[in-house]
Structure 1
Amino acid sequence: MSRRQNRTRLVFDSSLRTLPEQDIRTILRAADPLIAIAGRAMLIKVLRGSRAQDVLKYGMDDNPCYGAYQGRTEAEVLAMVDWMILNDYLGLDFAGDLPLLFYTERGWSIEREIYANELIDGFDKLLAQAAPPYDMLYLKDRSRDMILLLLEILHERADPKYVPILEAWAQVDYAKVRKEIARVIGHVSAPAPASQSAATSSTPAATSPPVS
């Protein structure tokens, strides 16, 4: 006969009625490296800038939102994290008897946009600090829908400065991603339509009557 696992009974702090948009984005970003490997306690430590051994051992102090709420109490940050769970931005799923964080659909739709723009900011730094060829292997095996969103943002920006980055990226990723990269490069590299002024300048100018 199998033993029934004793799962921790979770109690949530429901004292907060609302949370500002910036706090929602901060907590979602802080949660990213913790998804499916840690729970509320670790997220609170990261947000408060804890120097606990488990935080430092796993490099959680490199989290871009590490210490975002350094001046707040554990209870205050717990209430914010629990608000995120109760309002369907984050969830908890059990692995054995351990409740681990996951993104809900609502939360992931925000986090993927945050992360995509963060990666594009990284492209800007790479272009400013290094010359091609660029090593883009770090983008391989990232979340596919986040990568597609990133490429759509670049498509909308239509900035040709990213073409060397995109060309280097296309050399190392999978066929479906390469296809989307090629679409973006084609759009960015397409010649701009002739301006109205250029069109009108091609028509013969009216000649002045001869001076008698």
Structure 2
Amino acid sequence: MARRQRIRYELNTGEITKLQPEEIRVILRAADEMIATAGRSMLVKVLKGSKDKKVLEYKLDECPSYGYYHDLTMEEIGKRVDYMIVKRYLRIEYSGRLPMLVFTDKGWEMECETYTSEWVCRFKEVVESKVLRLDMFEELKIVNRQVVFAMLDKIKEIGDKRYIPVLKTWQKGEVRKVRQKLEGVITVLENREE
């Protein structure tokens, strides 16, 4: 039985020699939804806002970056994705015979900041609306621990005591390391001067 060949790819950045920082963050945010599970073409579809069956099946249309480049062609978006690989924000690793996207350290560092900021905003909305969403805590269980801890550090920096009840509710269903981190943040907030 013959071994099946890896699917080959060629990078083409075309005329793209620079992307704005916002574009880099948007592409990384979209990539985060499919790291190690999809490749360049799926990332292009998400950034385009495609109604492709797989995009909808995997709920990639719920990604904050979905449709960001709706006014560009797939080819133009592909050049931007390839630029991200050439500039080492993303890289390609094979899973069997399929090329999949993964973060480089540089790309993950930027995405970690972006994703952390998203979570801080979500917590701020909860605190200001006074409507607690318990599903948020379930979602946090699958969020990268580095993002969770960075978010808690930012909440500690904010120093707003109104976060305490939300953090205490979250603490009840968490694993030990996250509970300990939450306890530290709660203690700092409780001891903060008005």
Matching residue of 2:159? 158
Deviations 1:33-53 (A, max 9, x none): 111111000000000011111
Give the conservation status (yes or no) of the 8 Å contact 2:126–2:132: no
Counterpart AA for 2:153 = E
CA distance in 2, matches of 1:187, 1:173: 19
CA distance in 1, matches of 2:95, 2:102: 12
Shift of 1:187: 0.9
Q: Structure 1's 191 and 125: CA in aligned 2 closer, same or farther, altered over 3 A?
A: closer
Is 47-56 or 2-11 further displaced after alignment?
Answer: 2-11
Matching residue of 2:178? 177
Matching residue of 1:77? 77
Shift of 1:29: 0.6
Give the conservation status (yes or no) of the 8 Å contact 2:126–2:133: no
Flag the structure with higher helix content: 2
CA distance in 2, matches of 1:46, 1:19: 18
| Percent pairwise identity | 35
Give the conservation status (yes or no) of the 8 Å contact 2:30–2:66: yes
Give the conservation status (yes or no) of the 8 Å contact 2:13–2:80: no
Alignment of 1:18-33 (within 5 A): 18-33=18-33
Counterpart AA for 2:74 = E
CA distance in 1, matches of 2:160, 2:193: 12
Deviations 1:134-153 (A, max 9, x none): 45222113211111111111
Unaligned stretches of 5+ in structure 1?
194-212
CA-based RMSD of the aligned residues comes to: 1.8
Give the conservation status (yes or no) of the 8 Å contact 1:91–1:101: yes
Between structure 1 and structure 2, the one with the greater Rg is 1
Q: Structure 1's 155 and 128: CA in aligned 2 closer, same or farther, altered over 3 A?
A: closer
Matching residue of 2:190? 189
Give the conservation status (yes or no) of the 8 Å contact 2:156–2:185: yes
CA distance in 2, matches of 1:88, 1:56: 28
Counterpart AA for 2:148 = I
Deviations 1:108-163 (A, max 9, x none): 11111111111121112223445458452221132111111111111111111211
Give the conservation status (yes or no) of the 8 Å contact 1:132–1:164: no
TM-score (norm 2): 0.92
Deviations 1:151-204 (A, max 9, x none): 1111111111211111111111111111111111111111428xxxxxxxxxxx
Q: Structure 1's 3 and 151: CA in aligned 2 closer, same or farther, altered over 3 A?
A: farther
Matching residue of 1:207? none
Is 17-26 or 49-58 further displaced after alignment?
Answer: 49-58
Alignment of 1:129-168 (within 5 A): 129-131=129-131, 134=134, 136-168=137-169
TM-score (norm 1): 0.84
Matching residue of 1:48? 48
Is 3-12 or 147-156 further displaced after alignment?
Answer: 3-12
Unaligned stretches of 5+ in structure 2?
none
Shift of 1:59: 1.3
Q: Secondary structure, in 3 states, of the residue corresponding to 1:101? A: strand
Matching residue of 1:110? 110
Number of residue-to-residue matches in the alignment: 192
Give the conservation status (yes or no) of the 8 Å contact 1:137–1:169: no
Counterpart AA for 1:173 = E
